[in-house]
Structure 1
């Protein structure tokens, strides 16, 4: 039996849909780039989606970076994202390994509890979370954001990684134990490297979520020195008050978007292979 894609008409429709989908994704990014190179006069004198006039205002990027402290916001986002992702991966991987390889009474109920926690809207916990973090003197600090973000990543990491650890042959653990490896040695030197596709998939999903997170960053941080990029963009618009500088605002958005795009370009194969492997396992 021939596959559906062997039909020329089906192929044309299929590729047309892919092209339209690609345009719908690329156009907003291109529009953001073009608008970041304009001044307010070009926005009001022409249509917002028109091409920018020459010379292009690349100075909008340096203006945002310097005048609105986007350099500090960018560094804060990098520190918080890397710290919370690594901590979240460590906690979720160790927990998933124990649940998958060393079942105990109540381990299934504990796993289901972790999964059930993903269904609870996080907005319900914002008020008690603020009072908890405030009582621990962890508001207005990057450490507080790292701990909160890492705790929100554990359930999803466990959900993905339990399947990876269950699929690994038990003979690998037995061989490592016969060679004298401890429990920690077996986990960190044997099992963790073998679960790399799952770790990469979970890590990238977590990076995307944390990098773009706004609500928790707004509630737990009101000191500009510790703002992340999403909060910094909102504060930038608020500082402009009655006259929004659209060019610099779009430049700030682009500064926020570009690191995520670069990361996805480098790790797209690992993301696809990790998701596929997780689905099969």
Structure 2
């Protein structure tokens, strides 16, 4: 009985801070959703209450007058290309570092992992001049390349953990059957590492979708703005035009895809990171 009461008190002591923290995180998001359906008068008169009527005009204004539609399209392109390019580079690199032993392979792997500890801010100025030399400034494709390279060390770190647990006998059997090394990589190793690949892709996509600072530095034209830059522009405009409802609507447009994506693949992400940590 004492043990049961002690366990209950321990669980309660753990859960109460977690519940309070969850409320502190979720309430501002809930308040933002409510504000996106309010008029400016309602926001000022009753900022914490429910809207009298759910007004979709803020979404229409954000989508048309502030060109959120173009920014969403740009963010989709940058996110898709960045995640795809990162995979194309990370999968064969992780396989080579894990399976092919050559002189300096361990040092090269350590170099990749060490790159995760270097703040990305240190590379912004060199990247700016590098992109300028290749005429890729103010270009969403150049930004996608920068995004892919920035997440390459993390992707390699996760994928090597999965590939290291695949039995080498499978590769040997495929080689005996006449399969080329590239065939072994893409037809044997890649399908067996799919859990890690999905985890890396989802986490990179969320990172690229929400990224702001590199987009601010490398993009100048409003027609090339990603969603984060468009929201920043609306935020600065809202201070003078009182377009707070439009700002909340644009934030909802930005956050809903991330919430849906994470809700769908939450178990896959948790499973993938756990398996990668255990297997690594």
Equivalent in the alignment of 1:30: 30
Equivalent in the alignment of 2:75: 77
Bigger Cα displacement from structure 2, 194-203 vs 69-78: 194-203
Alignment of structure 1 residues 1-281 onto 2, 5 Å: 7-46=7-46, 48-52=47-51, 54-240=52-238, 242-281=240-279
Call closer, same or farther: CA 1:259–1:7 in 2, change over 3 Å: same
Unaligned stretches of 5+ residues in structure 1: none
Deviation at 1:3, TM superposition (A): 9.2
SS class of match (1:140): coil
Once residues 99 and 179 of structure 1 are traced to their aligned partners in structure 2, the CA distance between those partners, rounded to angstroms, is 24
Bigger Cα displacement from structure 2, 94-103 vs 19-28: 19-28
Once residues 5 and 174 of structure 2 are traced to their aligned partners in structure 1, the CA distance between those partners, rounded to angstroms, is 48
Call closer, same or farther: CA 1:251–1:193 in 2, change over 3 Å: same
SS class of match (1:242): helix
Once residues 235 and 38 of structure 2 are traced to their aligned partners in structure 1, the CA distance between those partners, rounded to angstroms, is 17
TM superposition score normalised by structure 2: 0.94
Once residues 3 and 63 of structure 1 are traced to their aligned partners in structure 2, the CA distance between those partners, rounded to angstroms, is 59
TM superposition score normalised by structure 1: 0.93
Unaligned stretches of 5+ residues in structure 2: none
State whether residues 37 and 56 of structure 2, in contact with CA within 8 Å, keep that contact through their aligned partners in structure 1: yes
State whether residues 165 and 195 of structure 1, in contact with CA within 8 Å, keep that contact through their aligned partners in structure 2: yes
Deviation at 1:62, TM superposition (A): 1.3
State whether residues 238 and 247 of structure 2, in contact with CA within 8 Å, keep that contact through their aligned partners in structure 1: no
Call closer, same or farther: CA 1:162–1:3 in 2, change over 3 Å: farther
For these two proteins, the number of residue pairs brought into alignment is: 278
Once residues 249 and 77 of structure 2 are traced to their aligned partners in structure 1, the CA distance between those partners, rounded to angstroms, is 22
Once residues 97 and 243 of structure 2 are traced to their aligned partners in structure 1, the CA distance between those partners, rounded to angstroms, is 52
Provide the aligned C-alpha RMSD in A: 1.9
State whether residues 39 and 245 of structure 1, in contact with CA within 8 Å, keep that contact through their aligned partners in structure 2: no
